[in-house]
Structure 1
Amino acid sequence: MKEERDTTTRTVKRPNFIVIGAAKSGTTALWNYFRQHPQIYMSPKKHTRFFSFQTANPVFRGPGPINDQYISYAIADAATYHALFVGAEEETAIGEASHSYLYVPEAAGRIKSYAPDVRLIAILRNPVERAFSHYSQMVRDGREPSENFFEALKEEAARIEEGWWPDFHYTRMGLYYDQLRRYFDLFERDQIKVYLYDDFRADPVQVLRDAFEFLDVDSTFVPDTSIRYNASGVAKNKTLHLTLQGLRRARPIIKRLVPEKHYRGLLRVGGGLHNKNLTEPRLSAEARGRMTAEYFREDIIKLEDLIERDLSTWLR
């Protein structure tokens, strides 16, 4: 646990590991599963975006996130950021998870300046699946104006040029090579652990055991992985979806009022209802192959060498 003293002589606790992304690839699940480990303290706020943006409410074009007007999009000052970690006590691993850190170019350098010895975890998903999952979530949340995925892809370059929210950068976010290269250029290789979403879905306990070893905590601890977090898809019942979204925004209040065990049970019930209310559309094999060839093939081949993993299944 890294600590320092501020000008008021209070002990300032700082993260010694960060989950940097990617979006729609399991960062929310990692954040939740890490929180169960008795030797890990996770920031109570997911996606602090502290190293991504220098203002609390950055200005982008396009339909914005549906957030509580009293909650800032990003944490932009060090005091507020450090306040997230005051609850850490005997935990040896202190961390946070913000998937924007992988995508925003400036984040790697800012993290290096802040904590050069920090450990970094990335989890990567097949970029075609990642893009379609992200699009489906945006449709579900009422932010995506195009009803056709491929039309949205055609508009992506123009949207980026016009300064739309990063959430609409469906293919650009999946070009992992340059994004990870920034971290490998700045940090030692043994400070970076890269997982694949397919492995995580197939055997989450094994991936978590490896991550626990990387963080030097008890790797025999087995968290409850029965809840699927941040699922994408189209709502079957829009009224139920809106109701569950409203309850989701009330989580901080509920968490303060009920014991942790009961809170986790409520999450399981609510998450189950949410996931059962979603239908997840699929891309055809032909569409997947076309997207891979058009947007991702060259990047995937370079990424294989960078992370020293066989990604041939992504190239099919």
Structure 2
Amino acid sequence: MSSLRPNFICIGPKRSATTWLADQLKFHRDIWLTPIQELSYLSGGFPAHHGKPYMAMRWTRWEVTKRVVRNKGPGIMADRAFLRTARQLAADSTFDLDGYRTLFAPAGRRVSGDISPMYASMSGPEISRVLPVLSDARVLLLARDPVQRFWSELSMHARKRTFGEVDYGSPEIVRAFFDDPERQKQHFLSDIVTRWQNGIGADRLGIVFFDDIVAEPEASLRRIVDKIGADWSKRLPAIAPGRNRKQGRVTLKPAPEVRDAVRYWFADELDRCAHMLGARGATWRDRHSR
């Protein structure tokens, strides 16, 4: 196995099954994931992590349980090595790709990777800047119906009351959420695919569809494990492939006219996805046609 790290990068935008993927991969003896689930280092460095409680070893029952799962045993050396490097990177504003690689050194001979939804928002120049890291990494995009992903993300913010005590299904809030320039970098899947294919080459971007994960979770997980270079036979049977701890949460129920408006705003994007992704994109377009 190559000593160059990470072995894989997952750039799935928010609400595209990145948490499901991280949960599943933690239960493979052949895979080690970092203590910080969403590193986001390549899209902006580590300033946001500086001084956070999770940058030090914690001993709550939940944190110890996660550490045992991650390390496939009670050992703590891997986490300590990671956190030592993470604190150094967070304290220095210099963008350090060698330091970033070092975050994955505790994996040893196991497969390790970076699952960060914010990478879907990276611009062409940002992707070019990190090409030395990407040259030996498998790059995966988790692709979801843009309209369904939009509503799922907005529902998440409604549950968390991110924007305060407002009506998250109102036309004003929904439109503001759609128009936000930073969020639009995640809204439009066709743009994400184009930026990344131009950046690393169309043949190097592996696309995994959210619909397949829902319909055939085990087969989808097997394909992902194979793509990232791990051994499926080393998977621990502790968690079913179909288990999603975020499934079944209450979603927004906006008025029909608001849903119609969102479909209209995404109409061109759905056409682009149908052209770019073939039958998968066409299914999304047909799903939202009136």
TM above 0.5: yes
Instruction: Provide closer, same or farther for how the CA distance between residues 220 and 54 of structure 1 changes in structure 2, counting only shifts above 3 A.
Output: closer
The one of 163, 185, 193 equivalent to 2:206 is 193
The one of 97, 103, 116 equivalent to 2:135 is 116
Quote the Cα distance in structure 2 between the aligned partners of 1:144 and 1:108.
30
CA contact (8 A) 1:16 1:117 kept: yes
Superposition pairs for residues 285-296 of structure 1, below 5 Å?
Answer: 287-294=258-265, 296=266
Task: Look up the SS of the partner of 1:131 in the other structure.
Answer: helix
The range that moved more, 17-26 or 284-293, is 284-293
Question: Does residue 112 of structure 2 align to residue 141 of structure 1?
Answer: no
Instruction: Provide closer, same or farther for how the CA distance between residues 292 and 110 of structure 1 changes in structure 2, counting only shifts above 3 A.
Output: farther
Question: Counterpart amino acid of 2:282?
Answer: S
Task: Look up the SS of the partner of 1:279 in the other structure.
Answer: coil
* Deviation sequence 1:91-110 (CA, Å, 0-9, x none): 2x321100100113154223
Superposition pairs for residues 10-159 of structure 1, below 5 Å?
Answer: 14-54=5-45, 56-57=47-48, 68=52, 77-78=96-97, 81-91=100-110, 93-105=111-123, 106-145=125-164, 146-149=166-169, 150-156=171-177, 159=180
How far off its partner does 1:21 sit? 1.3
Instruction: Provide closer, same or farther for how the CA distance between residues 46 and 57 of structure 1 changes in structure 2, counting only shifts above 3 A.
Output: same
CA contact (8 A) 2:40 2:118 kept: yes
Match in the other structure for 2:62 = none
Instruction: Provide closer, same or farther for how the CA distance between residues 110 and 16 of structure 1 changes in structure 2, counting only shifts above 3 A.
Output: farther
Quote the Cα distance in structure 2 between the aligned partners of 1:33 and 1:70.
21
Larger proportion of strand: 1
Quote the Cα distance in structure 2 between the aligned partners of 1:153 and 1:81.
37
CA contact (8 A) 2:33 2:113 kept: yes
Instruction: Provide closer, same or farther for how the CA distance between residues 180 and 27 of structure 1 changes in structure 2, counting only shifts above 3 A.
Output: same
Quote the Cα distance in structure 1 between the aligned partners of 2:44 and 2:104.
19
CA contact (8 A) 2:197 2:204 kept: no
CA contact (8 A) 2:275 2:281 kept: no
Quote the Cα distance in structure 2 between the aligned partners of 1:82 and 1:44.
15
Quote the Cα distance in structure 1 between the aligned partners of 2:121 and 2:250.
28
Matched positions, count: 244
Quote the Cα distance in structure 1 between the aligned partners of 2:153 and 2:259.
15
Question: Counterpart amino acid of 1:155?
Answer: A
Instruction: Provide closer, same or farther for how the CA distance between residues 129 and 33 of structure 1 changes in structure 2, counting only shifts above 3 A.
Output: same
Q: How large is the RMSD of aligned CA atoms in angstroms?
A: 3.1
Quote the Cα distance in structure 2 between the aligned partners of 1:220 and 1:228.
21
* Deviation sequence 1:220-272 (CA, Å, 0-9, x none): 566523542345xxxxxxxxxxxxxxxxxxxxxxxxxxxxxxxxxxxxxxxxx
CA contact (8 A) 2:140 2:206 kept: yes
Gaps of 5+ in 1: 4-12, 59-66, 161-165, 232-274
Larger proportion of helix: 2
* Deviation sequence 1:31-80 (CA, Å, 0-9, x none): 1212222222222321101111145139xxxxxxxx956759x9565466
Higher RCO (C-alpha under 8 Å, 6+ residues apart): 2
How far off its partner does 1:285 sit? 6.5
Query: Sequence identity of aligned pairs in percent?
Result: 21
Match in the other structure for 2:58 = none
Task: Look up the SS of the partner of 2:161 in the other structure.
Answer: coil
Instruction: Provide closer, same or farther for how the CA distance between residues 180 and 226 of structure 1 changes in structure 2, counting only shifts above 3 A.
Output: closer
Task: Look up the SS of the partner of 1:29 in the other structure.
Answer: helix
Superposition pairs for residues 158-237 of structure 1, below 5 Å?
Answer: 159-160=180-181, 166=182, 169=183, 172-219=185-232, 224=239, 225=241, 227-230=243-246
How far off its partner does 1:82 sit? 3.6
The range that moved more, 97-106 or 78-87, is 78-87
**What TM-score, normalized by structure 1, do the two folds share?**
0.66
CA contact (8 A) 1:18 1:95 kept: yes
Task: Look up the SS of the partner of 1:217 in the other structure.
Answer: coil
CA contact (8 A) 1:124 1:195 kept: yes
Match in the other structure for 1:280 = 251
**What TM-score, normalized by structure 2, do the two folds share?**
0.71
